Structure 1
Amino acid sequence: MIKNLIELTKIRIAFLVLTTTIIGFYLGQQGIQSPELLLYTLLGTLLCSAGSSVLNNVIEVETDAKMNRTKDRVLPTKKMSLSTASFLGILFIGFGLAILFEKVNTLTSILAFCTVVSYLVLYTPLKKVSWINTSVGAIPGALPPLGGWTAATNSLDPGGWILFFILFFWQHPHFYSIAFIHKEDYARAGLKMLPVIDNGNKKTVLHIFLHALVLIPISTLPFFFGISGRIYLVGAYFLSNIYMLCCLPFILEQTERNAKLIFRTSLYYFVLLFFIILADVRF
């Protein structure tokens, strides 16, 4: 039961969500001035993320059953009933929102609610309708750092929105590379991912290039808005250029190997940027 629950809650996504939430909180307070507040923020956010992932599994059970990479998941293999999974998903989200509302602030709970709704009601069904689903899905994917910021400040300041846009643009090369690697699987399930419907890959290449390019100036904005210092400016500018350079092989030749390079680089980018932020605020 525990193993199935861990798989349903998509622990790797939860880790990404919590990490970006910490970044937002950390920059909002310029350190961690309220450990208890951070703890409640992370707990509420984790429950909302876990519940959303569980309900996503419920909604996409038929789709997952058609894909090689997902056909052995908990729900397609009937290791847990849909009713049990639905109950757990709703329960997690309900407790998560309650914690954020009671222990953090109303604004953060509203953002969490918007994240859940946009992920489950907009992004998930849109995957079968239009390739624009990646950009729509990037919205709930980019809200956690803004939620961390509002948890720390109880306000929607420019700093929080800058973090939102950094994560928004970072996600596109990351998820387009995944979609390219698994495009046959997505096609089999009838999902309208851009690499699936893009004959010749011209649109995929263009979107990867543009989002990686725009990320370079966007990533430096925390310095110009007084949120971060010179360590961050140099580090973020360097990392974003490396990210862009690692997209170039795929732009020139659309192969699985080059798509995997984008994917791996995106993960390193994210981890290294996190440590640069910590170092910058500390020193």
Structure 2
Amino acid sequence: MSTSILTVESSTKALAARLADYLELTKPRIVLLELIVASAAACLAAPHTLDMRVLLFALAGTGLVAASASIANQWWERANDARMPRTADRPLPAGRIASGEAVMLSVLTLLAGMALLIWQVNMLTAVLGLVSWILYVLVYTPLKTRSPLNTTVGAVAGAIPILMGWTATGTPLGLTAWTLAGVLFLWQFPHFMAIAWIYREDYAAAGHRMLTVVDPTGMRAGAQAVLGAAALIPVSLIPAVVPTSGSPLLYLTWTLALGAILLGLSIRFAIFRDNQSARFLLRASLIYLPSWLAMLLVVTL
């Protein structure tokens, strides 16, 4: 094999590795989740009049703003991430991406996302995107080392993309839209309390003030998971009480069952406060969200 071929292969591998690191900075799984909930909200807001061109621009803008927030978050936390085994190999703490590169990438993706939302979607959606970015980067991220309230702030920021999907269609924010946001907000408490318990030692090493670090017994984390799951049930049932179409009884039965399972596993976690109960709760929360959204779409479309 010639030297030139080896050089090309080496350059190709290096480029692929660099692009993979850039992608990792964006936290693609979180971005994907936000795009899924935004898409679902758009379909629910305008089931028969959805403009696919506008939706695609909205998703692109939302994804870019979310990616920018994740990059900025990792840049801010790069020193703390280096102390956690779970995050020590991320591109910034591992030294594969320079700090300046990350800042530039965050700025460029934020500007590109905001430009798309302003000029191709609408101003309200753009404002919501900017508010979500500010809450996640400038409030939630520094609050993680200061107060357990970081989870609440993060949950607000995490619930905004579903409103962005709704407003992208031009439909006014009403009861259904706020219900979607309420479900997404409340769902994050059992979900993140389970994560906080499983990785409590990592969070403690990094100096993060999660509830499971501030209260190592897990009692407060368990209580918050139960309260979130309990409040989730009546909020998630609002579309059945005030239906817009479809089968309210089918939706009510399905959503009530999902909520009862999540609440039961939250109570189990609050009682036992061990890794097994936390992992069961985490898996259930990951099943809950797509299952709830899917049924809401089925009875609406």
Q: Per the shorter chain, which TM-score range? A: over 0.9
The offset of 1:13, in angstroms, is: 0.3
Indicate whether 1:239 and 2:258 are aligned: yes
1:103: how far off? 0.7
State the Cα deviation string for residues 57-105 of structure 1 (Å, max 9, x = none).
1110001001010000000011111101110111001110110111111
Deviation for aligned residue 1:228: 5.4
1:264 maps to which of 283, 286, 289: 283
Kept in 2, the 8 Å contact 1:58–1:75? The answer is yes
Map residues 28-43 of structure 1 onto 2, 5 A cutoff.
28-31=45-48, 33-43=50-60
Paired position in structure 2 for 1:165:
182
| Whole-angstrom distance in 2 between the partners of 1:273 and 1:49 | 23
| CA displacement at 1:226 relative to structure 2 | 2.9
- Match runs of 1:69-148 below 5 Å: 69-148=86-165
1:181 aligns to what?
A: 198
User: In the alignment, what sits opposite 2:300?
Assistant: 281
| Structure 2 unmatched runs, 5+ | 1-17
* 2:26 equivalent to 1:9: yes
In 2, the alpha carbon distance for the partners of 1:267 and 1:170 equals 10
Cα pair 2:222 2:267 within 8 Å, conserved: no
Does structure 2 retain, via aligned residues, the 8 Å contact 1:130–1:193? Answer: yes
1:249 matched to 2:268: yes
Contact (CA 8 Å) 1:149, 1:160: kept in 2 or not? yes
CA distance in 1, matches of 2:135, 2:112: 19
> Who is 1:207 aligned against?
224
Q: Which range moves more in the overlay, 59-68 or 26-35?
A: 26-35
Instruction: Tell me by how many angstroms 1:33 deviates.
Output: 2.2
Corresponding residue SS for 2:109 = helix
Aligned residue pairs total: 282
CA distance in 1 between counterparts of 2:245 and 2:105 reads 40
Q: Secondary structure at the match of 2:231?
A: helix
Report the CA distance between 1:161 and its aligned residue.
1.1
The CA RMSD measured in Å over matched residues stands at 1.3
Would you say the 8 A contact 1:4–1:74 is kept in 2? yes
**Displacement of 1:249 after TM fit?**
1.9
CA contact (8 A) 2:187 2:228 kept: yes
Deviation at 1:205, TM superposition (A): 1.5
Structure index of larger Rg:
2
Q: Deviations over 1:207-252 (max 9, x none)?
A: 1111100101010112323345423222222211111112222122
**2:190 aligned counterpart, secondary structure:** helix
The one-letter code sitting in structure 1 at the alignment partner of 2:131 is: C
TM-score, with structure 2 as normaliser: 0.91
Aligned residue type for 1:6: L
In the alignment, is residue 59 of structure 1 matched against residue 76 of structure 2?
Answer: yes
Give unmatched runs, 5+ long, in structure 1: none
Q: Give CA deviations for 1:25-53 in whole Å, capped at 9, x if unaligned.
A: 11111256211111111000010011111
Alignment of 1:210-221 (within 5 A): 210-221=227-238
What SS does structure 2 have at the residue aligned with 1:153?
A: coil
1:65–1:76 contact (8 Å) kept in structure 2: yes
Does the CA-based 8 Å contact 1:108-1:154 persist in structure 2? no
Amino acid at match of 2:251: Y
1:246 aligned partner, one-letter code: L
Measure, in 2, the Cα distance between the counterparts of 1:26 and 1:98.
23
